[in-house]
Amino acid sequence: MNDIRDLFPGRMRERTFQLKAKRDAGAVWHEQQFVECKQCGRRAARTLWARSLYVCPNCGYHMPIGGYYRLSLVLDHGSFRELDADLAPQDVLHFPGYPEKLAAAQNKTGLRSRR
């Protein structure tokens, strides 16, 4: 039997992209309703940060945003198609400490590579 993703490949890709963008923006986190600015230290509601595109409403500090959220701001809706999404990083040159650095980067970004 076919996977449901095979029946609606465009919709699944678009929905996955939207969820990744929301995750990057912090929209799926519910435990924290207020965000503290790293520059001025004042707190503002998460919805206020989102409306101002993650620029501090008090001092103008630009909060770092994730790659998928940045793409959702720049590209037209439905025009992005991720190529090689399941491409996995490999350490063919055997750099020292590469597995640890890869694990740290994956923990920091929340993105996982598939093998």
For residues 76 and 91, state if they share a domain.
Answer: no
Tell whether 57 and 113 lie within a shared domain: no
Shared domain for 13 and 68, answered yes or no, is yes
CB of 72 closer than 8 Å to CB of 79: no
Question: Domain tally for the chain?
Answer: 2
Higher pLDDT, 19 or 8: 19
Say whether both 74 and 87 belong to one domain. no
What pLDDT is attached to residue 42?
92
Q: Are residues 41 and 19 in the same domain?
A: yes
- Does the predicted model carry a pTM greater than 0.85? no
Dihedral sign (CA 80, 84, 86, 89): negative
- pLDDT band of residue 55 (cuts 50, 70, 90) is very high
106-112 long-range Cβ contacts below 8 angstroms, 24+ apart: 109/66, 110/23
Range of the domain at 106: 83-115
